[in-house]
Amino acid sequence: MTSTSPTLREQSERLLHRLAESGARLTPTRAAVLRALTSRSDGFTVEELCGDVRPVGRATVFRTVRLLLQKGLVCKLAMGDATPRYALSRSGHHHHAVCVRCGAVDDFRGCDLDDLVQRVAAAAESEVLGHRLEVYVVCAQCRRNDASGSAPSTHHAKHQKFRAIE
Amino acid sequence: MTSTSPTLREQSERLLHRLAESGARLTPTRAAVLRALTSRSDGFTVEELCGDVRPVGRATVFRTVRLLLQKGLVCKLAMGDATPRYALSRSGHHHHAVCVRCGAVDDFRGCDLDDLVQRVAAAAESEVLGHRLEVYVVCAQCRRNDASGSAPSTHHAKHQKFRAIE
DNA sequence: AACGGAATGATACCGAGTCTCAGTAACCAG
DNA sequence: CTGGTTACTGAGACTCGGTATCATTCCGTT
């Protein structure tokens, strides 16, 4: 972790400035959390993040994630009954395809979805406040790994896979 | 609660038999939980259920709900960050519109959704394992109540409304 | 440099859900 | 009916994600 790729540097610095703009203070601790966060391309658990930024306190990591959540810079994946994961939020309204093997998160926009949602609401004479769609998948990388013997190879997929779905 | 509507009786008895078919034992405790469950038309929290079937132990209520969940007779609503709710599962694959005011749950089938999901998966060369869609609404009844002053009227909406969404 | 409010960390706490373990009670022989 | 196997039950301890508290630190402004 001595030389960080410039793109990640930039990315975490952008986030830091987005926070600053909204009145939050620029602290080394926050910078560290943001760096850890951006260097994980996947969905991550807070506990994993804590591991990355030790010795930053657990409470602080949770607070930082909550802050980012409130600013809409990060979003939370419910993951059925498994440990909730978080992911950088690259855009406005979107949904997620999560790999249940490695935790990789793929964003997508569900334009058609809004139609469906509105129809459902109309049928029930209800007012829509929001919706959430999560798709659980095995990603291309993990499928390849599955196919070629049991080697977990260079792909992420730390210690434990998490059980799926509803 | 002295005279239960026959439909509810039947319903809870059907559930009981579905359980029995799959090897579970028919106990008075389970019957009580199932009766409580069916007499709540809405999404409910386990804690609410516990209140209804006192003095049945909390662990047992959780165990029963888990059992029903495994048999697919009940489904779990993630509810963003609020307390998770459960609802009778009337059918096969479906989704939920949950009223964030009163907890009423409306099932619907998202046929169009499967298309979308498959397209997303194909684009990412991923294998789909499942998906989950939740729509958060204010239901017709609650909208009416909102409109006509503050009277909560005959509608359910116990003590607390729960905060919403992502 | 000094001040005020925000950020931090340790730790206690909360709430949903599970595990353990001893006691009890369904079901299935016989 | 009687007994035995095995599942179910309840109390309570425990796990785990997340929050509240509170004393201390330190950012940013003056």
How does pLDDT run across A120-166, given as a tens digit for each residue?
Answer: 888 889 999 889 999 999 999 899 988 876 544 334 433 333 433 44
Chain B 13-32 residues whose Cβ is under 7 Å from strand C: 20, 25-28
pLDDT at A153: 38
Higher pLDDT, A113 or B73: B73
**Rounded to an integer, what distance in angstroms lies between the CA atom of residue B124 and that of residue B5?**
51
- Protein contacts on strand C: list nucleotides below 7 Å from a Cβ: 6-12, 15-20, 25-27
Higher pLDDT, B94 or B158: B94
Chain B, window 12-71: residues with a beta carbon less than 8 angstroms from a chain A beta carbon: none
pLDDT at B153: 38
Least Cα separation, residue A123 to chain B (angstroms): 10
The answer to whether domain A1-90 has CATH 1.10.10.10 is yes
pLDDT at A151: 47
- Residues from chain A that touch B136, judged by Cβ atoms under 8 A, are 128-132
Give Cα B20 to chain centroid, integer Å.
21
Secondary structure, 3-state, A126-151:
CEEEEEEEEEEEECHHHHHHHHCCCC
**Mean pLDDT score across all residues of chain B:** 84
- Tokens 């169009």 locate to B112
Q: Which nucleotide is nearest to A62 (CA to C1')?
A: D18
Chain A 98-127 residues whose Cβ is under 7 Å from strand D: none
Q: What dotted CATH number matches A91-158? A: 3.30.1490.190
Give the residue nearest to nucleotide D27 (CA to C1'). A25
| CATH pick for B6-147 out of 3.30.420.10, 3.40.50.300, 3.30.470.20, 3.30.1490.190 | 3.30.1490.190
pLDDT at A24: 95
Domain ranges of chain B: 6-147
Secondary structure, 3-state, chain B:
CCCCCHHHHHHHHHHHHHHHHCCCCCCHHHHHHHHHHHCCCCCECHHHHHHHHCCCCHHHHHHHHHHHHHCCCEEEECCCCCCCEEEECCCCCCEEEEECCCCCEEEECCHHHHHHHHHHHHHCCCEEEEEEEEEEEECHHHHHHHHCCCCCCCCCCCCCCCCCCC
User: Would you mind telling me the total number of residues written for chain A in this entry?
Assistant: 166
The residue-averaged pLDDT of B112-130 equals 87
Report residue B159's pLDDT band, with 50, 70 and 90 as the boundaries.
very low
Give the residue nearest to nucleotide C8 (CA to C1'). A60
pLDDT at B27: 97
The SS3 call for residue A27 is: coil
- Tokens 């419910």 locate to A78
- By Cβ distance, the residue of A78, A126, A133 closest to B140 is A126
pLDDT at A91 over 90: no
Inter-chain CB proximity A136 and B140 less than 8 Å: no
The residue-averaged pLDDT of B21-26 equals 94
Q: Is the CB of B84 under 7 A from strand C?
A: yes
What is the interface size between A and B, counted as CB pairs within 8 Å? Answer: 129
Report residue B8's pLDDT band, with 50, 70 and 90 as the boundaries.
confident
Least Cα separation, residue A5 to chain B (angstroms): 25
pLDDT at B26 over 60: yes
The residue-averaged pLDDT of A6-17 equals 86
Does B133 contact A at CB distance below 8 Å? yes
Inter-chain CB proximity B138 and A121 less than 8 Å: no
pLDDT at A68 over 60: yes
pLDDT at B154 over 70: no
The residue-averaged pLDDT of B102-128 equals 86
Report residue A23's pLDDT band, with 50, 70 and 90 as the boundaries.
very high
- Residues from chain A that touch B124, judged by Cβ atoms under 8 A, are 97, 106, 137, 139-140
pLDDT at A149: 66
- Protein contacts on strand D: list nucleotides below 7 Å from a Cβ: 7-13, 16-21, 26-28
B90 and B99 Cβ atoms separated by less than 8 Å: no
Q: Is the CB of A45 under 7 A from strand C?
A: no
Inter-chain CB proximity B134 and A136 less than 8 Å: no
Least Cα separation, residue B3 to chain A (angstroms): 30
**Rounded to an integer, what distance in angstroms lies between the CA atom of residue B102 and that of residue A40?**
39
How does pLDDT run across A25-62, given as a tens digit for each residue?
Answer: 999 999 999 999 999 878 999 999 999 999 999 999 99
- Residues from chain A that touch B116, judged by Cβ atoms under 8 A, are 110, 112-113
